[in-house]
A and B are shown apart, each in its own frame.
Chain A
Amino acid sequence: MPELPKRKVGLVSCSGEEMAEGSVTRLATLKVLQSLRPQETVTICLPLFLAGGEGDRAFARFYPTIAIDGCEKRCAARGTEMYSSKPAAGIVVSELCPSAPGCLGTARHLNDAGMEVVTKVAEEIARHVDRLLGGTKSGRHGEPGDHSSAVQEKRASAATCSCGSGIPVKVLEIAERSVEVLALPLIFDMFRQSGKAPGAGTTAELMEIVRLYNGIPEEEQASWNEAIQREYAAYYAGEAR
C-alpha cells in the first residue's frame, strides 16, 4: 500500500555562504533534521524554488514551513513566500542571538560561540516545530504523533532532504481554472489499492484527505467535489484496463 507523506514541518534555511550567521542557519537546521526532530521535519534547498519544478515550488503549500535566516535580509522567508507560500514561522539569527561581527567565527569555521548559537537556534526551531504540529511532544526522541489517522507516516532514518523529490501534484480543471492538487496521485493510488470503487461515499472520503493537503475555498467545494469524483473515476477505469 502506498504511503502518503505524514504532515511534517518544512525547514528552509538561507545558508548564507558569506556570513557566519548563514552557517548557523544551515547547521541548526541540520541539527533539528538529524537529531532533535528527525521524524517531524523535512528540508529543501532554497534555490530549488527557482531552479526546480512545480513539485518543489509546492513545498511550503504542502508543509507548514519555518524560514531560518541569518540576517535581516530574510532571504529564506521572502524567497519561500515569493516562490511557494508564506512560511508559518520565521527565525532570524541576528535578532535571536545578536552578536558583534566576527564573534561567531567565520562562515567557513564557526567558533565555540558560533556553535553555541547553533544549539540555541536549533532549540528555537524545535520549539516552533512542536507548536506547528499541535503543541504535542510528538517529535521528541523520534516518537511520532498521530496527527491524522488517514495519513500514514513515512519514516525517515536520517535527515530528509526533499531536493528533486518534490510533492506529487496533479493539475485539474476546477471552477474554470487550472489547479494543482497536491498529493492527489498518491491519494488516488492509496484508494485504488484499498479497493475503493468510485462513488459518492468514496468521493467524500477522498475529499477529506485532499483537504488535508490543499486549501479549498468555501465557494469552490462543490466544484472540487465534482472534479475529484470525475478524475478518480477516470483514473480507476484506466488502472482497471
Chain B
Amino acid sequence: MTRKVLIVPCSGIGKTYGTVARTGAYIVTEDLRPDTTQLVPLARVVLGDDEVRQTLAGAPAIAIDGCKLACAAKVVAESGGALAHALQVLDVFRKHRELKPAGIAELNEGGEKLAAALAGEVVTLIHDMEGQEDA
C-alpha cells in the first residue's frame, strides 16, 4: 500500500473514552505503524483547512470516536474523506470488559490497556486494507 492510512481520533475533551481514542491513535501512528499511517487533527478538518482536505482526498481514513456522537467519522465524511472504517471505543471496550478505563487528563492502567487493544484493532484493519490493495 503506497498511500498512508489516515488516523483521525475524536477530540473528546470531557470523557475518558475520548482520551482512549486519542491514545490509541498515538500508539498506532507513533509506535506500531509510524511509516504507513498519519495522524490527522480533527480541528483542522472541522475548519476545512485546504492542506488537510487534500490529504483526506488522497488516502483512506480510519476514524476513532469516543462517544456515539461520532464526530470524527461524521466530520471526515462531510469533508469528502474516504472513510474506510469508523471505530467506536465503546465497541472495543465491550470486547475487553476487564479493562475499565478511568481518567481524562491521564488514563489509568485499564485505560492504557484499552487504548492498546484499540490500536491493535486498527492495525488489523490496516493490514486487511493493505491485503486488499495488494491483491
Contact = CB atoms under 8 A, between A and B. Distances in A.
Interface stretch (B43-51, B84-92, B93-101): B43-51
Given A29-B13, A108-B26, A159-B14, A17 B75 contact: no
A159 B104 contact: yes
B14 A79 contact: no
A47 B48 CA distance: 11
A30 B13 contact: yes
Contact of A75 (B30, B40, B46, B74): B46
A26 B43 contact: no
A183 interface: no
A17 B42 CA distance: 8
Interface in A62-85: 73, 75-76, 78-79, 82-83
Contacts of B23: 108
Contacts of A30: 13, 104-105
Interface residues of B, number: 33
Contact of B15 (A14, A107, A108, A163): A163
A52 B69 contact: yes
Interface residues of A, number: 35
A47 B30 contact: no
B9 interface: yes
Given A51-B70, A51-B75, A75 B47 contact: yes
Interface in B28-47: 30, 39-47
A79 B47 CA distance: 6
A45 B46 CA distance: 11
A13 B11 CA distance: 9
A220 to B, nearest CB: 32
A15 B39 CA distance: 13
B25 interface: yes
A49 B43 CA distance: 11
A39 interface: no
B62 interface: no
Interface string A86-106: 000000000000000000000
A226 to B, nearest CB: 37
A16 B43 CA distance: 6
Interface in A207-227: none
Interface of B: 9-15, 18, 22-23, 25-26, 30, 39-47, 49, 67, 69-72, 74-75, 78, 104-105
Please list the 10 inter-chain residue pairs (A to B) with the smallest Cβ-Cβ separation, ordered nearest first: A161-B14, A47-B71, A75-B43, A51-B74, A15-B11, A51-B71, A14-B43, A17-B41, A108-B26, A18-B41
